[in-house]
């Protein structure tokens, strides 16, 4: 059974879908569960809403009348670092992977239950903000190659660059850092970062690792910090070259 959130700390959720029946239903169900909900029926309105009143998370349909939901997800990622949960009618892995490649943190396939959606939103907020932002998070810094990684802000600071990771990239990097020198399988990363088992989703870990390598290379001028161990998984090398 869902537990209603404390109104004083209720996260703000932006729901983006051109189906007004669905957005009305989302507004009702999520408000009932204690969220503060706003709605947009196209990409342009969603971008304006995110700029004027930044939400804590976005629930975003893949298909919108004025632009692709994937395109909008990428634009939201460039505008601000907030978690995005994609809604899709497709069950194909290639479509799900495309969502993750554009910066989505999670996805829900239609049709879905409102209870499951609310649980997924709570989970993605826990992963990215920590208990809905209650209290000031302690600063946790890790040495990483030629720089440092701020685990709470998901930020890498190199000698000449400072780069913000997506929340999921930050979570994966933290798992690898906390297991430095050990091989971590894609399944273990799924379990630590997403907190659920989904064998068909293991391919998304490879996508996130690939994107994370590019971010690390840009910030630290190194492209071999995350090593792939064939058939086993991934291992982090943090010593400065």
Render pLDDT for 157-203 as a digit per residue (tens, 0 to 9).
Answer: 877 778 888 888 998 998 898 888 889 999 889 888 876 544 446 78
Please tell me whether the overall predicted TM-score, pTM, comes out greater than 0.85 for this model.
no
Structure tokens at 103: 């910066």
User: Peptide bond preceding 111: is omega within 30 degrees of 0, i.e. cis?
Assistant: yes
Instruction: Check pLDDT > 90 for residue 21.
Output: yes
Among all chains, which residue has been given the structure tokens 């404390």? Answer: 6
- Name the nearest CA neighbour of 214 among 82, 138, 101: 101
Among all chains, which residue has been given the structure tokens 């040495």? Answer: 143
Question: What is the distance between the alpha carbons of residues 24 and 130, in angstroms, rounded to a whole number?
Answer: 28
DSSP state of 44: H
pLDDT of residue 81: 72
Question: What is the distance between the alpha carbons of residues 187 and 110, in angstroms, rounded to a whole number?
Answer: 25
What are the residue boundaries of the structural domains of the chain, listed by start?
A: 7-133, 141-236
Sheet with 155-157: strands ordered across:
141-144, 147-150, 155-157, 162-164
Instruction: Check pLDDT > 50 for residue 39.
Output: yes
Structure tokens at 19: 């189906």
pLDDT in tens, 105-122: 888 888 888 888 888 888
Query: H or E element: which one contains 120?
Result: helix 114-129
CB 150 within 8 A of CB 127: no
Structure tokens at 66: 């004025």
- CATH class of the domain comprising 141-236: mainly alpha
**How remote is the C-alpha of 217 from its chain's centroid?**
20
**CATH of span 7-133:** 3.40.50.2300
Question: What is the distance between the alpha carbons of residues 8 and 110, in angstroms, rounded to a whole number?
Answer: 31
Q: Is 105 exposed, middle or buried (0-12, 13-18, 19+ CB in 10 A)?
A: buried
């Amino acid at each position: 059974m869902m537990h209603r959130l404390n109104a004083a700390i209720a996260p703000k959720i932006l729901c983006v879908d051109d189906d007004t029946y669905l957005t009305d239903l989302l507004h009702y169900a999520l408000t009932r569960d204690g969220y503060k909900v706003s709605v947009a029926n196209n990409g342009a309105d969603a971008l304006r809403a995110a700029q004027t009143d930044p939400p804590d998370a976005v629930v975003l349909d893949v298909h919108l009348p004025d632009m692709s939901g994937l395109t909008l997800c990428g634009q939201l990622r460039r505008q601000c670092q907030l978690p995005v949960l994609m809604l899709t009618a497709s069950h194909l892995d290639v479509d799900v992977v495309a969502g993750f490649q554009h910066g989505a943190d999670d996805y829900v396939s239609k049709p879905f239950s409102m209870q499951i959606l609310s649980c997924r939103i709570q989970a993605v907020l826990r992963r990215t903000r920590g208990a809905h932002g209650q209290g000031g998070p302690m600063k946790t810094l890790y040495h990483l190659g030629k720089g440092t990684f701020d685990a709470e802000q998901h930020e890498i600071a190199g000698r000449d660059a400072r780069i913000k990771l997506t929340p999921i990239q930050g979570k994966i990097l933290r798992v690898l850092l906390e297991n430095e020198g050990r091989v971590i399988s894609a399944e273990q990363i799924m379990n630590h970062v997403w907190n659920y088992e989904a064998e068909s989703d293991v391919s998304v870990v490879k996508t996130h690792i690939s994107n994370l390598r590019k971010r690390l290379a840009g910030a630290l001028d190194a492209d071999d910090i995350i090593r792939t161990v064939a058939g086993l998984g991934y291992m982090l090398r943090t010593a400065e070259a």
